[in-house]
Structure 1
């Protein structure tokens, strides 16, 4: 079995399909195609900040958490700056496998960045007393000798598919699910090493009418983020065609932090 086959079989596994990880990833690319003009500004902002953050780091190994389709990853530049580039995600699209084949120092790792929550929830979906324990025992271990970690628009998303899966069981209150969300974010923040991290995450969701009138803002981060050495905030026009929410546009306010 080739490396490509391993990734393909993992992607198509019953667990990931049932929990909708594969359909979610496909949905991201489909939305990018529809919203390309609006997404490109966000993508370029992300790439520019990553490279700015990378300048001050040791140039051994860089690890990217949530590499996805590599839309917002300045892969060429990172492969030239660092001795090793490691892309980590729960699913690696076959297009990405093909794309990285030309880079001798870029490798893929399929892993659950939550540190085991996917398996735990899949195996205990109806056991509330087990799922509401603190999430801190679930900690993703970064590879040894990592010089630079990029948490790439994943911190605010780690819980989404898991919470949606739990909602279908209908035994959790909204308050319990929000606490679950917060605990996952706390656990993720704890694995990011000081003086070695670039964190990019959506912090707010804006809901707008078709005339661009804001009618609501939802916070997406429920923990205090580091102040960092430098940071930047921009708006990501995620869905202007009102396909994510019927009759409403959805924009994200995104923050990037070097710390």
Structure 2
């Protein structure tokens, strides 16, 4: 607990990201990884193998982007830094661990950014009661990226904004909430295709609650987004019992795509 408190107090973070829970989420994720390092190891290995294979499909040199770089648990940063001329790590929060890793590579740059472009307009809308905004992902400066990786981000994009909507505008119709979440996911895929020659993505696609080795509940994580069959897939035991539930374990199904080049308009 002392480590988490220190990280929360000392990690640089934009005020809006702190208020909406992005810093707390990053700190909690790091703590969970430390507790569940062994359970997560097959997932982490699968992610790193997939990213290596995906990066090898892109030409050497040029620019690479990692959206949702987070704690860099799943990202083989030395490999990307060696293969590409510039690597841009994009997230709402860059932890001390991630900053230390980035400093080891002179061609790696950190960019603190909301990739949806929706958070600041949402904050305004929730303050003045206006309709939920449409996402407007940012145009990033410089030449088009040769390679862009969305790193376990797609399923997560709507979660903290939806929490804020539930807190600050609890009477928002369910259909409006669902449309907002679905549009965030759809626009993220389109944005990746727009900014990069190769739009690579991995994300959890289902959440499974397991008990005694059997699936008790399952829920899709794709917010209605229609994706082709993944190029690679694996399971991630993200919260073995009793991490979240005394009796049940939480398992994520993960899908990975080498190149979602064709944009899907929201």
The question of a shared fold, defined as TM-score above 0.5 by the shorter chain, is answered with: yes
Name 2:90's counterpart in structure 1: 88
Name 1:192's counterpart in structure 2: 192
Q: 2 CA distance for matches of 1:153 and 1:247?
A: 26
Does 1:77 find its partner at 2:79? yes
Q: 2 CA distance for matches of 1:255 and 1:67?
A: 17
Does 1:177 find its partner at 2:177? yes
Name 1:125's counterpart in structure 2: 126
Work out whether residues 242 and 250 of structure 1, in 8 Å CA contact, stay in contact via their aligned partners in 2: no
Does 1:15 find its partner at 2:16? yes
Shift of 1:142: 4.0
Name 1:4's counterpart in structure 2: none
Name 2:151's counterpart in structure 1: 152
Does 1:98 find its partner at 2:100? yes
SS at match of 2:131: helix
Give the TM-score normalised by the residue count of structure 1: 0.87
Work out whether residues 11 and 96 of structure 2, in 8 Å CA contact, stay in contact via their aligned partners in 1: no
SS at match of 1:38: helix
Q: 2 CA distance for matches of 1:26 and 1:253?
A: 23
Q: 2 CA distance for matches of 1:168 and 1:45?
A: 36
Q: How does 1:240-255 map to 2 (within 5 A)?
A: 240-245=240-245, 247-255=247-255
Does 1:112 find its partner at 2:111? no
Shift of 1:176: 2.7
Work out whether residues 146 and 197 of structure 2, in 8 Å CA contact, stay in contact via their aligned partners in 1: no
Shift of 1:40: 1.2
Q: 2 CA distance for matches of 1:23 and 1:37?
A: 23
Name 1:48's counterpart in structure 2: 49
Runs of 4 or more consecutive aligned structure 1 residues displaced over 3 Å after TM superposition: 126-129
1:152-199 Cα deviation digits (max 9, x unpaired): 100110111110111112122333322221110011011122751211
Work out whether residues 128 and 172 of structure 1, in 8 Å CA contact, stay in contact via their aligned partners in 2: no
Give the TM-score normalised by the residue count of structure 2: 0.85
Q: 1 CA distance for matches of 2:239 and 2:167?
A: 25
SS at match of 1:25: helix
Shift of 1:101: 1.1
Work out whether residues 66 and 151 of structure 1, in 8 Å CA contact, stay in contact via their aligned partners in 2: yes
SS at match of 1:63: strand
Q: 1:44 to 1:148 in 2, by over 3 A?
A: same
- Structure 1 unaligned runs (5+)? 1-7
Work out whether residues 65 and 88 of structure 1, in 8 Å CA contact, stay in contact via their aligned partners in 2: yes
1:76-130 Cα deviation digits (max 9, x unpaired): 1111111111111011012211222121111111100112x11111222155652
Name 1:257's counterpart in structure 2: 257
Work out whether residues 126 and 171 of structure 1, in 8 Å CA contact, stay in contact via their aligned partners in 2: no
Work out whether residues 86 and 106 of structure 1, in 8 Å CA contact, stay in contact via their aligned partners in 2: yes
Q: 1:79 to 1:9 in 2, by over 3 A?
A: closer
